Amino acid sequence: MADNKKMVEAITPMDEDFAKWYTDVVKKAELASYSGVRGCMIIRPYGTALWENIRNDLDSRFKKSGHENIMLPMFIPESLLQREKDHVEGFAPEVAWVTHGGDEKLPERLCVRPTSETLFCDHYHDIIHSYRDLPKLYNQWCSVVRWEKTTRPFLRTTEFFWQEGHTMHETAREAMDETEQMLGVYADFCEQSLAIPVLKGKKTDKEKFAGAESTYTIEAMMHDGKALQSATSHYFGDGFSRAFEIQFTGRDNTLQYPFQTSWGMSTRIIGAIIMTHGDDNGLVVPPAVAPIQLVIIPIAPHKPGVTDAAAALKERLKSFVRVNLDDSDNSAGWKFAEHEMKGVPLRLELGPRDIENNQCVIVRRDNREKTVVSLDELDTKIPELLKAVHDGLYQKALKRQISMTYSAVSMDEIKDTAESKPGFIKAMWCGNVECENELKEKAGVTSRCIPFEQEHISDNCVCCGKKAEHMVVWGKAY
């Protein structure tokens, strides 16, 4: 038990130093390690397994909605990148360039992709000729590089992994519907699989993606009240199509430009899982994406038959749950702490007396509730408990979001709230970027989104006092 205590104490309490707590969890739960490359991380097997489960879940959702996976190059010629001016300007400070191949200087610099709109457009130029070729519903799983000044594992790294959907449509209406549909896919995934409640809405023009006509977002609240932009979906209109001369023969036999979208979610969502559900003992992983959903801990394994019974139980359960047997020679207390650290949703304890009584004890990671379960009922009870863990995590996060969401009707009120009450702030906005900038400067908050579900907080802008156009959720963010 001494080792157990020492290991738990190694995590800095989140109330003491939230940033240090986060880093401790990432490292000690063996999600990732720092690498020898500036701003880049090594995603360890446990973190990789978590990302694979996220990827598989999302990929299934994409394919159900008709999307296909594709793989494009990681390099973008400079001349290709320059063809969409607003897009280039938005990413210029973050671009990494390749200037040499071996010992020879390249005739043209190659950008290491920060995102792939230009590559997709170059390809679409070659394959879209008729309305019969539309829609093109493509998605790519890959890594991208953005030369970030300040980095933190999963939240902001020079290289990160993601998926990026890029679609082309015959009409603007179809593209707009796609943009909102995919935002809905992300929101459903966060709530149904990650147990993370999110706000859905539109970004202001100041915050929208470079080159987009409109950007939509889902915003999640972390333990410390800060927002995390968890996924985005963009409507591009026909701007990229015109820049790349992508045309098709329409149904009326005239040449037309297709309408484009893009949308993405990255390994940053692992940071959201950590900071939404984690506690001072480490990770708490939602069951749907947990690498291990249930761990079996033999109690008094030195006694005859215990280890064999635990191994047989693992074989029985593995057909419907991701199960692991910890038959190492560490103490039971050490094992409890280790698997709590890694956020395993359920722990099953099996000892000699349990075997004699044809039962076991199952402990939930989210609230440490213990349940005595007959071994004959595990096939039904384990799925029930996994659902209970998911529901418990979601309700806890939703309660936090609601309790840490405030309203403000004046600049003084939004400043006071931002200083003393971490969380989301609902306030009216006139639509002018000058007020948006002033709120950032004076209150330290940025616009998180213009929610689809609007509320009337007051008639006037929280900043200038003029007539308001939107209710906006403001906050501090990662």
Reported as a single tens digit per residue, the pLDDT across 364-389 is 999 999 999 999 999 999 999 999 99
Mean pLDDT for the stretch of residues 108-115: 95
- Measured CA angle at 220 (ends 468, 321), to 5 deg: 155
Two tokens at 82?
């320059």
**pLDDT 10s digits, 438-460:** 999 999 999 999 999 999 999 99
Alpha-carbon distance of 29 to 59, in angstroms, equals 26
**pLDDT 10s digits, 90-107:** 777 889 999 999 999 999
Q: What is the pLDDT of residue 148?
A: 85
With CA atoms as reference, report the closest residue to 205 among 218, 196, 195, 214. 214
**pLDDT 10s digits, 274-297:** 999 999 999 999 999 999 999 999
Biggest CA pair distance of the chain: 81
> HEC string of 108-176?
EEEEECCCCHHHHHHHHHHHCCEHHHCCEEEEEEEEEECCCCCCECCCECCEEEEEEEEEEECCHHHHH
Specify the CATH number of the domain 405-475: 3.30.110.30
Specify the CATH number of the domain 7-277: 3.30.930.10
Looking at the chain, the whole-number percentage of residues with pLDDT higher than 90 is 93
CATH class of 290-388: alpha beta
Q: What is the pLDDT of residue 59?
A: 98
Q: What is the pLDDT of residue 4?
A: 45
Q: What is the pLDDT of residue 9?
A: 56
Q: What is the pLDDT of residue 3?
A: 45
Q: What is the pLDDT of residue 6?
A: 47
Looking at the chain, the whole-number percentage of residues with pLDDT higher than 70 is 98
Mean pLDDT estimate for the chain: 95
Give yes or no on whether 7-277 and 290-388 have one common fold. Answer: no
Q: What is the pLDDT of residue 2?
A: 40
Residue ranges of domains in the chain: 7-277, 290-388, 405-475
* 477, 448 contact by CB (below 8 A): yes
**pLDDT 10s digits, 308-351:** 999 999 999 999 999 999 999 999 999 999 999 999 999 999 99
* 110, 77 contact by CB (below 8 A): yes
**pLDDT 10s digits, 135-163:** 999 999 999 999 988 899 999 999 999 99
The sign one gets for the Cα dihedral 191, 193, 195, 196 is negative
Q: Report pTM.
A: 0.94
- pLDDT above 90 for 5: no
Mean pLDDT for the stretch of residues 217-233: 98
Within 404-432, where are the H helices? 411-420
Q: What is the pLDDT of residue 35?
A: 95
